[in-house]
Structure 1
Amino acid sequence: MMKVKNVLIVEDDARIATILAKTINKREEYEVIGIASNVTEAIDVIDCFAPELVFLDISLDSSCGLDVIKYIRQEIKENTPTVVMLTAAKDVEVIQKSVASGVFDYILKPISFSRLNQTLQRFADYSNKLETRQAFEQEDVDLFFGLQHGEELRSGAGSDKSEKLSLPKGVDSLTLEKIINAFMHDPATAYTAEVMADSIGISRTTARRYLEYLLSVDRVKADIEYGTVGRPERRYIFI
């Protein structure tokens, strides 16, 4: 049985941090053991709980996420955590510094759930290889460095092949990502099918189909609200 990996989220946007924690905790291989909003809090959690994986926002209020990486590289001699950058920063210099610092992955905001799950799966596979002391082949190394995801991984969006195959008829990954990203942009909002349709430019019927799909896989919950004329309407809330 695979050992559960402890995860630290370093993110100063409480809404994003909460969504990340809920998504990560849905996977049996992981447990979020802390959320830090700045470098000092992150270092305290790392020192006290030794997480195996750190999701790190590079642009924290009044501090830089790279300082966390610097501390890990200089001060942590054993059980060094693996770092995934999680940020809206897209300029070349920031990405170059992150790659040079040896991060495991770099995910841009707004976060794609399929992209996040790709990273979680790659790290789980990587950790399992290390724990079972299996020899690494080139295809393993390619997988761990994201070289088998093709255009989907390079674009930072879309689903992996297994996720695409599991989607029901009438639900495509691109439209699904647009709807999920709408929730991610404002997770506190309860969307009706009509509001979601207007938000991303699709028909109300299409929006309802995708929202019902997300309800069926426990990504959203639905409440019924009655309008002024008594007509019930479902409002979908991200969970």
Structure 2
Amino acid sequence: MIRVLIVEDDPMVAEFNKRYLEQVEGFQLVSVVSSVNEALNLLEKQTIDLILLDIFIPGMNGLDLLLLIRETGMKADVIFITAASDMNRIQTALRYGAVDYLIKPFEFDRFNEALSAYREKFMFMKNQHVLSQKELDRQILRKNPRVMAEELPKGLTQGTLQIIWETAQSMGGSPFSTEEIAGRVGISRVSVRKYLKFLSDMDALYVQVHYGTIGRPIYQYKYNEAKENIIKKFL
């Protein structure tokens, strides 16, 4: 679960943010505070992955808090939720490393989009230690977004996909190879490789490439829980 801190001095807005957060899977609200000092005290005691942060807070403002987080090396990420819509503050927030910026008032769809994108990146970075340029561009830098398939590629069947997908899920967070899946499901490695490529193209599997001293590189896969819903429509 992604641990979240809400920093908002308006109780009504804080409650809305809390209710919105409850509707997005994968997040756990740790606390709601109304000032930078309260936030800093909590950050010293607990691990926080993501802060939903207002700029207009009495005393030190949200930009001050983000700067302190960066200067002190805290690892919490920040999504601003604020009425501040002037370019100067927006640029400052982005330069300090805010991962997203929502201008009040906003709809739940925009909130859900911001949190879902963060969750996907968070889970990807948690499970990867080394990236290829392709993975960096697509998953982190968000370059060259691809059009996802709407139907199974020719030669793949729904039944076999379900067997391989369920087998991949059963591996949990453990990496696995084409050979391991082929051995478990009793299908040829050539066929399994086609299904694993489709699943990795859909980002439903993480791919890790290991280069040995001789021979071909070894591909290993990991189940990507954040993309589970994307595959359901093919099953």
Measured in 1, the distance between the counterparts of 2:41 and 2:96 equals: 21
3-state DSSP of counterpart to 2:117: helix
TM-score, structure 2 normalization: 0.56
Alpha-carbon displacement from aligned partner over 1:47-76 (angstroms, at most 9, x marks no partner): 111210001101112331111112211223
Alpha-carbon displacement from aligned partner over 1:190-210 (angstroms, at most 9, x marks no partner): xxxxxxxxxxxxxxxxxxxxx
3-state DSSP of counterpart to 2:89: helix
What is the match of residue 29 of structure 1? 26
What is the match of residue 106 of structure 2? 111
Measured in 1, the distance between the counterparts of 2:136 and 2:70 equals: 27
Deviation at 1:97, TM superposition (A): 0.8
Alignment partner of 1:47 out of 44, 53, 58: 44
What is the match of residue 126 of structure 1? 121
Say whether the 8 Å CA contact 2:24–2:116 is kept in structure 1.
no
3-state DSSP of counterpart to 2:81: strand
Structural mapping, 1:211-230, within 5 Å: none
Matched, 1:81 2:76: yes
Say what the alpha-carbon RMSD is for the aligned residues.
Answer: 1.9
What is the match of residue 6 of structure 1? 3
Measured in 2, the distance between the counterparts of 1:137 and 1:70 equals: 26
Deviation at 1:111, TM superposition (A): 2.2
Deviation at 1:44, TM superposition (A): 1.1
Say whether the 8 Å CA contact 2:24–2:112 is kept in structure 1.
no
Matched, 1:140 2:139: yes
Structure 2 unaligned regions, length at least 5? 146-235
What is the match of residue 188 of structure 1? none
Deviation at 1:92, TM superposition (A): 1.3
Q: How many residues align?
A: 141
Alignment partner of 1:66 out of 47, 63, 66: 63
Measured in 1, the distance between the counterparts of 2:84 and 2:57 equals: 11
Deviation at 1:142, TM superposition (A): 4.6
TM-score, structure 1 normalization: 0.55
3-state DSSP of counterpart to 2:29: strand
3-state DSSP of counterpart to 1:63: coil
What is the match of residue 183 of structure 2? none
Residue type of the partner of 1:44?
N
Matched, 1:16 2:13: yes
Deviation at 1:138, TM superposition (A): 1.9
Alpha-carbon displacement from aligned partner over 1:161-189 (angstroms, at most 9, x marks no partner): xxxxxxxxxxxxxxxxxxxxxxxxxxxxx
Structure 1 unaligned regions, length at least 5? 149-239
Measured in 2, the distance between the counterparts of 1:141 and 1:15 equals: 34
Identity of aligned residues (%): 27
Tell which structure's C-alpha radius of gyration is larger: 2
> Which stretches of structure 1, 4 residues or longer, exceed 3 Å deviation after superposition?
none
